[in-house]
């Protein structure tokens, strides 16, 4: 179970060793799912981005918190339910594909994903609906997002603003929540004992992996750094600078 932002790339820049990493997975017949808390993009956008870096990945290997959120709503609300959404196309399409109507009028749920066009009006509309009794769902709790320029506010920051305004805590779908890990295991057809999670965040990837009983691998190429690791009670099973170092360790182990 592999995270993408901060693990495979930062912004529009691939992490060193990307092609070699995927080549090793193929050579060793290691099955994987690319599971991201980023709800702003569609699976085909991720596969296109990887293709631009010279790596071919099938769309069915992509799992986003947006798809997990849409699946969650399907379990608790019938098709045709009105939903107010803060987010981008990566969240809008999965909701519509599940039969939900994106409309603030009479919305029964407010679903919030990362929105690079966030406005006061969107936050105000969401807050009013939540205060009126609409269910409050967040795709993921990441307070920051890694870019080539550094960390910027993530969906968790948006959720915090709404929680502060309403006093209502959202139902979180993405990592470290169990739902993302359960869906990833189903896609892989694997057991907890034979699966690892690879990520760049102690608070989502690694903490969630620990809770799920998976082996955990932290790379320091994204959000969490050495100082975070030193201050955290969450201890990964393996720590590497990036996927290039991880691949080297794996290759060495495979040759022995």
Residue 5 is given by DSSP the state: B
Task: Tell me, yes or no, whether 57 lies in a domain.
Answer: no
Whether residue 93 is found in the same domain as residue 168 = yes
Tally of domains in the chain: 2
CATH of the domain at 95: 3.40.50.1000
Type and span of the H or E element at 62 = strand 62-64
Nearest to 132 by CA among 161, 100, 109, 112: 109
Question: Which of 115, 142, 172 is where one domain is finished?
Answer: 172
Helix, strand, or coil here: 65?
A: helix
Tell me, what's the pLDDT at 196? 98
Q: Block means of pLDDT (10 residues each) for the chain, length 256 residues?
A: 96 95 97 94 96 97 96 95 98 98 98 97 98 98 85 94 98 93 93 97 95 98 93 96 98 93
Task: Tell me, yes or no, whether 50 lies in a domain.
Answer: no
Residues whose CB falls within 8 Å of the CB of residue 77, separated by 6 or more in sequence, listed in order: 100, 108, 109
Phi (first) and psi of residue 232, to 5 degrees: -100, 145
Decide: 9 and 18 in contact? Cβ < 8 Å.
Answer: yes
Task: Tell me, yes or no, whether 156 lies in a domain.
Answer: yes
Tell me, what's the pLDDT at 191? 96
Whether residue 135 is found in the same domain as residue 93 = yes
Decide: 113 and 86 in contact? Cβ < 8 Å.
Answer: yes
Tell me, what's the pLDDT at 256? 85
Whether residue 150 is found in the same domain as residue 198 = no
Whether residue 135 is found in the same domain as residue 201 = no
Question: Which of 172, 205, 233 is where one domain is finished?
Answer: 172
Helix, strand, or coil here: 122?
A: helix
Nearest to 203 by CA among 183, 169, 171, 231: 231
Q: Which domain holds residue 18?
A: 9-37+177-255
Task: Tell me, yes or no, whether 138 lies in a domain.
Answer: yes
User: CA-to-CA distance for 57 and 34, rounded, in angstroms?
Assistant: 9
Whether residue 162 is found in the same domain as residue 106 = yes
Tell me, what's the pLDDT at 228? 94
User: CA-to-CA distance for 21 and 250, rounded, in angstroms?
Assistant: 10
Whether residue 70 is found in the same domain as residue 168 = yes
The residues carrying an active-site annotation are 3, 5
Whether residue 167 is found in the same domain as residue 77 = yes
Q: Record the pTM.
A: 0.86
Task: Tell me, yes or no, whether 185 lies in a domain.
Answer: yes
């Amino acid at each position: 179970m592999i995270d993408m932002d901060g693990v495979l790339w930062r912004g529009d820049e691939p992490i060193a060793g990307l092609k070699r990493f995927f080549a090793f997975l193929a050579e060793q017949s290691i099955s994987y799912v690319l599971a991201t808390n980023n709800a702003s993009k569609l699976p085909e956008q991720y596969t296109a981005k990887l293709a631009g870096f010279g790596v071919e990945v099938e769309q069915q290997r992509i799992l986003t918190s947006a798809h997990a959120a849409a699946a969650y709503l399907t379990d608790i609300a019938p098709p045709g339910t009105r939903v107010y959404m803060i987010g981008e196309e990566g969240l809008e399409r999965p909701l519509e594909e599940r039969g939900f109507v994106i409309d603030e009028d009479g919305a029964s749920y407010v679903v919030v994903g990362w929105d690079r066009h966030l406005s006061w009006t969107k936050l105000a509309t969401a807050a009013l609906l939540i205060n009126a009794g609409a269910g409050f769902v967040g795709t993921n709790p990441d307070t920051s997002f890694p870019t080539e320029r550094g960390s910027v506010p993530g969906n968790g920051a948006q959720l915090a603003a709404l929680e502060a305004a309403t006093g209502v805590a959202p139902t979180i779908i993405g990592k470290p929540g169990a739902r993302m890990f359960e869906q990833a295991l189903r896609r892989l057809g694997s057991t907890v004992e034979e699966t690892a999670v690879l990520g760049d965040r102690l608070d989502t990837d690694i903490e969630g992996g620990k809770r799920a009983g998976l082996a955990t691998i932290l790379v320091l190429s994204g959000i969490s750094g050495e100082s975070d690791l030193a201050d955290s009670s969450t201890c990964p099973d393996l720590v590497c600078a990036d996927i290039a170092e991880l691949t080297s360790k794996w290759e060495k182990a495979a040759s022995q």
